[in-house]
Structure 1
Amino acid sequence: MPPRSPKPIPSWQGALAAGGSVFGLWMVLSCLGFAAPAELTFDERFMLPVVEQLADRWPEPSVFWDFEDTKGPAFFVPAAILFDAGVGLEGLRLINLMLAIGSAGLVGMLMKKNWQTAAVAGVLLAVLPYHTVLSHLFMSEPSFVLGSIILGILATTGPKGEPGFWRPLAFGLGLTVLLHQRAHAVVPAAAAVLVAFQRDGSSAWRYGLAGLAAGILRLPLYVEWGGLVSPEYASRYGLGFSPEAVVYLLGALAPLVWIGVPLGWTKKPRVMAWVGIVAITMALVAGPDLSSPDGGLRPDGTSPLRFQGLLATAVLKLPLSIQSFAVPLAVAVGTMGLTGLYLQMPKPGLNENDGFPRYGWFLLAFGCLLYLGTRGAVYDRYLLCFGCGLPILLVRHTPGWAIGAQGGLWLLLTFWSASQWLDPSV
């Protein structure tokens, strides 16, 4: 008699296991002395003054468009309302922590095998590079990650072939909000709609229509600002042709997806070899200039670098003779790793019960490709917004040793970044 498969756990138990595990992990970090500094750090220095300005003007209607930043009113106006109600910097940081734990809970809801897999998925989300640090600060990434997860759940996890009415409606409303936070929301929208069509067939047109409606609702702000961002930032961010940005982000992918290299090599070594050759060629032809400025000016008159993050920092510390080899190597690892993870997933079709892992892969791939058509600063941390589906992809479609190896590197990077940014003495 064949062994019975274990009974799946209810969604709420998975959510509790994942959220509780993340809470426990961050309590350990707190006991080790990691905490947000009292002073403004990271991009808080630029965002909190905007919040204070809007709080002083609330409830004037102009707070929804009359400010200067790369992010939109869906991020700043709620923060300004809370700030006006007496919620200060520490309160805004605490809300970000709660949103991040909520994101882990949603990921855990999808892991119905047992509470252990739910807990692992939640912890993997928490230790994605930069996620722990940015969740402890007043930053926009945690809420964007939450929104991306919600869009993926709505479009790729419902009853198969039956989108109904309410799921596409909720998808459209959620996407409208996310587009008014950051224009980058076109990436989760595209990934979710594509996977919905792969999973549900022609009945997924409702998600496409909802996405189109959300895009149309974003047009008034585009017209008011005269671009994707406010006028002060329009000269630094906007549409353009930037193959070097895609090359940089593919290199920055290396620590996120390196485990896909050995996994993919065992399945299709010839495909992986060709992918590596193409990636190295791209890096040599259209490699980024890591010393180039982004066109903006700091208060002291200096211009920040266009490419910033773990990859740029590590490469720039190497001797000049090695730097020219380091970037192509990282690009090869990132591109091959992403390909290898794709090879781990089942083929799309009517037999696929849950499209969220596939959504997570396309979310990351489209997130890199987005920068082919944009100009401006390119930071490693942008990948966090597009990597939130990786934990479920890893837990569902890779062996345990691969989960441990990939998650172990993420954990090391989390402790490293925490030592840089979560030091109260800073």
Structure 2
Amino acid sequence: MRLSRSLIPTLKETPAEAQIVSHRLMLRAGLVRQTASGIYAWLPAGYRVLTNIARIVREEQDAAGAQELLMPTIQSADLWRESGRYDGYGKEMLRIQDRHERELLYGPTNEEMITDIFRQSVHSYRALPQIVYHIQWKFRDEVRPRFGVMRGREFLMKDAYSFDLDHKGAVISYRKMMLAYMRTFQRLGLRAIPMAADTGPIGGDLSHEFIILAATGESQVFYDAAFESIDYTSREFDIHAEADLARFYTMMTTPYAATDEKHDPALFEKLDPSRRREGRGIEVGHIFYFGTKYSQPMNFTATGPDGQPFHPEMGSYGIGVSRLVGAVIEASHDEAGIIWPEAIAPFRAAILNLKPGDAACDGLCERVYARFGAAALYDDREERAGVKFADADLLGHPWQIIVGPRGAAAGKVELKRRVDGAREEVSPEAALAKLLGV
């Protein structure tokens, strides 16, 4: 993409309404623009990041055996009355009526709807277990939306739902999703800590939230260093092997981990001092096991192995996809701007033409850009070099390919790595080989 023809409206000054780092940088880098309180339009560069995160989330859900579907955003109030949640959910739920005065709502979550889908479709234990998920926009009418996409009213979420014959099967599904989550966060370049949590309005009696570490996080986190040494993407854990899942779950729940609200200094103090860690954290995911909380009141029954009806055991699993964009920035930035992990960056590299109109610079930039295609942002603007450097750092491209008259005349480019500022002068072919493997 050529920057001269792109909708990437960067800002030099920080908007007054931006209170935290991610909000400031997302506005300054032209990733989003606010359209109403707590509601944002995702501009092209921001949407590319959002899409990359969703892709990784989707790949790990698929690898865990979950099936993707798509449920509507608008739900019937009658379904929520069946579960008993309609009146108790609170003002965060946006309640509406259609022209026939039927009561509807903009869904904040989908337990009722997926239960209704399954009770229409699954009638025997032979159809279980199953896990389904979708990635969908949701709405919760926050009383004080703030911090940009970190606490907005409209947000993109991956929510999954498991259905099992019994408690044993439900626990296996729960552990499978926990492993899928840890693999997802690792692929996103984040260090995540799973912590036992309250179930809140979702309900149930088993719940974990996932906290990623960020210096500007919203809560204090205390944890065992054991979490830092595990490679969740290794072959050590087969996500479809019950024994591996049990071993993994033990590794996740045995080490100490707590937020400031639940921190017990007496248990912290029992750790070897070399293993004690603390920092700031941001919640980016939550998983729940709640048994028959929805299947029973909504009369979802299937025939069991003994020929008798039973209520399937359920769980739900959420990841804040749009919230993750802000969380990654909170965890990975410096004074100059964003530092994107390579897996989710909007562009793998920025090509900076320091002298547009110079035949050697133009020719070399065009040659490199042709090889990168959509993976690179070509800064071909008639702007000073300082402006181009500042915008490239602000946007956080993992790599910058810098082309100036002296280097172009010698057939060289300067390659800069954003994460540490390391620079080297190489041939265009060496730069392509390093960044694209060609």
> Structures share a fold, TM > 0.5?
no
User: Of the two structures, which has the highest relative contact order with CA contacts closer than 8 Å and spacing of 6 or more?
Assistant: 1
Structure with the largest fraction of strand: 2
TM-score by length of 2: 0.30
Structure with the largest fraction of helix: 1
